[in-house]
Amino acid sequence: MSELIIHITGARPNFPKAAPVIAALREHDVAQELVHTGQHYDDKMSAVFFRQLGLPEPDVNLGVGSGSHAAQTAATMVSLEQLFLDRDPALVVVYGDVNSTLAATLVAAKLQIRIAHVEAGLRSFDPTMPEEVNRVVTDRLADLLFATSPDAVAHLGNEGVDPNRIHLVGNPMIDTLLANLDRFDAGVARREFGMEGDYAVATLHRPANVDDPSDAAALVRAMHGMADHVAVVLPLHPRGRGSLEAAGLFTHPNISVVDPLGYVEFLGLVRGARLVVTDSGGVQEETTMLGVPCLTLRPNTERPVTITHGTNQLVVRDDLPGRVKAILSSPRAETWPTPPLWDGRAGERIADVIVRDVRRQP
């Protein structure tokens, strides 16, 4: 019987999650292949992560590119179906909540191939988020559900998932952060962007913030109010760049808009920041570990553990300048809570469960 494990990655958030799992599985001498669907495809959104995180070159790059949710998911499904038929894997491992994850899960389920979902059980309870749809469907179909936090385990239990399928393992993205911590040089980031005093970092790309012109305009007003108090470096995702530029984001002299950064460069910048403003899920987790105050511009989060055991706060646009001012007037925290099992060994725990599964061990 095949022991082949196929990892599906497609977008920037997947790569730091997959790296420690792939590395840990190497120690078990099992066959594995890495598939990159190409959902994110330019160098700064994709290839740079492979170089910086020590990921092997993908065995397969599907090159599906961008498109609507339906078009991107459909193209990925068509390509993956033939790949899975050719390879006959014992297990398909999917990561997070991107369209590639949903596509791979649907194809594997139809072909009766076992599925492992890394980062299972996260819930925003906001059905307007495409990622929430992807998460719920993937968890319903997956055979192994690897949860990063106790609240995720509780969500899966409330949905009737068999407890034997659920494994609380910690957060593999934090494995990658801790393994690279010495490389995150805030001094280099300050020199690169000319930051002498306090500065903030912002990352913004969610549809609810950038798609509609009125939302984009409200966001820009909030960002300008924030920039009245502190210099802002904004590595801007291609998504939403046009709408934010049209709304006048670039006109404030205290906002520096830059292209997306590599993993090491971005976290070096974050490590030296006085605060971060984001609508990204992963950044909430990274700031929690780095002890940097994080203001999440969303009405909800699928990562509440970053609020109860971290540095994260939810904030609405109108309140952003005031919250920023409050953080700037407070002393930097010297200690802060971190979630259980975010200890740099999640990849090992995931690999142990996967190997037992593919070898049908108890």
Residue 139 tokens read as 């968890």
CA angle 202, 207, 209 (to 5 degrees): 50
Out of 205, 224, 237, 309, pick the active-site residue.
205
205 is catalytic: yes
CB 139 within 8 A of CB 156: yes
Work out the angle between the directed axes of helices 14-26 and 172-179 (0-180°, nearest 10): 80
Geometric angle at alpha carbon 13, from 163 and 38, rounded to 5°: 110
Half-sphere exposure of 290 (CA within 13 A, CB side): 30
Cα dihedral: 46, 49, 55, 59 (round 10): 10
- Lookup: tokens for 183: 């490389």
Give residue 148's identity as a one-letter amino acid code.
Answer: T
Cite the active site residues: 205
